[in-house]
A = this chain, B = another copy of it.
């Protein structure tokens, strides 16, 4: 049976890429502050970069801000990725960056919204509400989630770095390690990964040690200032996979986004090969 991560790995093999292209139509990057302009921005980026994309990651906020029209644009962007996939003969996973988190029937409605109404393959979720808030999203092994673990912002210190003392353990550990261990427990169907910012390579290394098998979605390389080599060294699994690198502005703002995506893809391959030696 296909699981979300076996699907992702297949695409990674097809594209030789660990690059996750962010579809983030920031208002400041658009010709006009409209849903039509956001759609244009994304469709162009999808066409230019699909060959080099292990996955696409539309960010719900930049569509929601345009209300109903934004929601329609998001739906069209998702369809465009499907069309490019068909054209290439290799399906590209779509990760909705929405960071949702709610309980019982509300969580079910969010899961239905993402996986059925929009039709994405994976969603980012916030773990603060616990396992029952995650369950509606991971029932089906083909659909995946990335749980926020250690994010790339300064405010991630406020809660995520707290030392916690889990019941039955006498060893305190940072909350992000505890979340990684929970995610590893919850990953019974090969469809639960974690978000680990690339801005803290030492922390990434600790999380990799605590969760050797999990997939990481690791923003922060490029525009947010992480170092590619450090990130790959800290985050890759022993099999040279397990790490998906989202990039947005460093590609979309390049003079030639296709060339920028190809170069970053190749640079990642190069560093990965060097590390294997």
Contact = CB atoms under 8 A, between A and B. Distances in A.
A62 B159 CA distance: 29
B130 A128 contact: no
A61 interface: yes
Interface string A121-135: 000001111111110
A256 interface: no
Interface in A157-180: 157-160, 162-166, 172, 175, 178-179
A233 B62 CA distance: 42
B155 A102 contact: no
Question: Quick one: copies of this chain in the complex?
Answer: 2
B130 A155 contact: yes
Interface residues of A, number: 62
A101 B128 CA distance: 11
Contacts of A130: 153-160
Interface in A238-258: none
A58 to B, nearest CB: 12
A148 to B, nearest CB: 6
A163 B163 CA distance: 8
B110 A61 contact: yes
